[in-house]
Amino acid sequence: MAEFTLLLGADRGNPMDTFAEATALIQARVGPVRCSSRDHWTEPWGFRDDHLFLNRALLVESDLEPGEVMLRLLQIERELGRERPAKGGYAPRTIDIDVLFVGDRTIQEPGLTVPHPRVHERAFALAPAADIVPGLVHPTLNTTVLALLDRVQAE
């Protein structure tokens, strides 16, 4: 059984309702949701937009392999209306589900890098994660989630 720290993000539609649907689908298809962070409203990252993003972290337990979890999360995104830009990059979205951490594991496989490769740069991801796993040590940076958040906020 592994603990997955997931990040939900959205700036289109009704993010609160979408997060409720996403959480129910994750619970049914991935594993029990053990806890969730408070909600964090943040500015868009990587592009300009007039809408704020809602971000929430979930701690999920699963017996599934991380690659299978990622496939199921991508399917949930599609079912909830996620459209990816044809050229890649950042854009508004109804839902985004990222795998930030899988316990203290490092994973590098097609379609999945854990820890998330930019988590240490993103307050919008670290703040919700710090609500639920503040003492989790980033396995390659050897720094806790809370310390990473403090560092990003000080910059």
> Helix 123-132 to helix 145-154 angle, to the nearest 10 degrees?
150
Tens digit of pLDDT for each residue in 82-108? 676 556 655 667 899 999 999 999 999
The answer, as to whether pTM is greater than 0.95, is no
**pLDDT tens track for 47-80:** 566 678 899 999 999 999 999 999 999 999 999 9
Q: What is the sign, positive or negative, of the torsion defined by CA atoms of 73, 120, 59, 10?
A: negative
**H or E, element range at 147:** helix 145-154
Q: Where in the chain are the domains? A: 2-154
The DSSP code for 59 is: E
Is it the case that residue 127 has pLDDT exceeding 70? yes
Burial of 29 (C-beta count, 10 Å sphere; 0-12/13-18/19+): middle
CA 77, distance to chain mean position in Å, is: 12
Q: To 5 degrees, how large is the angle CA 125–CA 137–CA 67?
A: 65
Longest dimension (CA), the chain: 41
Structural Rg of the chain based on CA atoms: 14
CATH architecture classification, 2-154: 2-Layer Sandwich (3.30)
Across the range 25-33, mean pLDDT stands at 98
Regarding predicted confidence, which is higher, 130 or 85?
A: 130
Structure token pair of residue 45: 């990252």
Cα dihedral 122, 123, 126, 130, rounded to 10, equals: 170
